[in-house]
């Protein structure tokens, strides 16, 4: 793995060290891989507060400025995506519930795990199993692309197959942006913006 530097861009790859966890976001130069800018929002229920405790959340966002070495530099930024975890997902007119990500921690530090679903503008899909480790506003995400995931709504089921980046690793350097920091000491955070760089591919 490449030399790590805290929350910086080094040699075309975003790398981070938070709480002893290290991640290198696969760059667009990695074989069959790429990186994107992530912008979204997390909703906590209940949210992390001043002391460490279990919590759950969902999030949704967009992936843009994507570079993909599989399609070459001429296609940089042409493929975008939407990403979600723990939210309703409609497939073929039927609404399913994505698995709810969970974690333990506070506003200062925390660890979470979940499954995210990406639908790309070229019609492909990617299912990512991930973990996160946070320190203050910085978050390191690491994970891997699952072959598929099956969702149910009690009477129906639907399988989402990873038709893009199958078998790849995932990593991200993200920042949580709490609109009202006072919530950390008064009932817990309810929402937070998510911005950063995520990558899929080989490291």
The average confidence (pLDDT) of the chain is 82
Q: How far is 126 from 164, CA to CA, in rounded Å?
A: 6
Q: What is the structure's pLDDT at 34?
A: 79
- What pTM, to 2 d.p., does this model score? 0.84
Q: What is the structure's pLDDT at 2?
A: 32
**DSSP secondary structure string for all residues of 89-126:** EEETTEEEEPPPPEEEE-SSEEEEEEEEEEEETTS-EE
- Candidates 180, 35, 176, 40; CA nearest to 116 is 40
Instruction: Give residue-wise pLDDT tens across range 179-190.
Output: 888 888 888 999
Residue 154: pLDDT band (50, 70, 90) is: confident
Residue 128: pLDDT band (50, 70, 90) is: very high
**Phi and psi at residue 183, to the nearest 5°:** -65, -20
Q: Which helix (H) or strand (E) holds 18?
A: strand 13-18
Mean pLDDT calculated for residue range 152-170: 93
Residue 19: pLDDT band (50, 70, 90) is: very low
Mean pLDDT calculated for residue range 98-125: 95
Instruction: Give residue-wise pLDDT tens across range 20-53.
Output: 444 444 443 344 567 899 999 999 988 899 999 9
Number of alpha carbons in the 13 Å side-chain half-sphere of residue 67: 15
DSSP 21: E
Query: Which one is predicted more confidently, 95 or 180?
Result: 95
Lookup: tokens for 103: 């974690």
Instruction: Give residue-wise pLDDT tens across range 51-74.
Output: 999 999 999 999 999 876 555 555
């Amino acid at each position: 793995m490449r030399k790590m530097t805290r929350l910086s861009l080094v040699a075309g790859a975003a790398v981070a060290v938070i709480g002893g966890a290290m991640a290198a976001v696969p760059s667009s130069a990695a074989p069959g891989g790429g990186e994107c800018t992530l912008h979204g929002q997390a909703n906590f229920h209940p949210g992390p507060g001043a002391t460490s405790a279990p919590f759950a959340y969902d999030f949704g966002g967009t992936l843009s400025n994507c570079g993909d070495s599989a399609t070459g530099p001429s296609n940089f930024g042409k493929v975008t995506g939407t990403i979600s975890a723990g939210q309703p997902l409609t497939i073929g007119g039927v609404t399913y519930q994505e698995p709810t990500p969970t974690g333990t921690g506070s506003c200062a530090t925390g660890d979470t795990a979940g499954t995210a679903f990406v639908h790309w503008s070229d019609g492909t899909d990617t299912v990512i199993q991930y973990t996160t480790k946070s320190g203050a506003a910085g978050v390191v995400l690491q994970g891997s692309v699952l072959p598929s995931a099956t969702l149910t709504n009690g009477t129906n089921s639907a399988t989402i197959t990873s038709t893009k980046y199958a078998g790849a690793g995932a990593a991200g350097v993200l920042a949580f942006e709490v609109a009202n920091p006072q919530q950390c000491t008064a009932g817990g955070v309810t929402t937070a913006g998510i911005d950063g760089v995520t990558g899929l591919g080989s490291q």
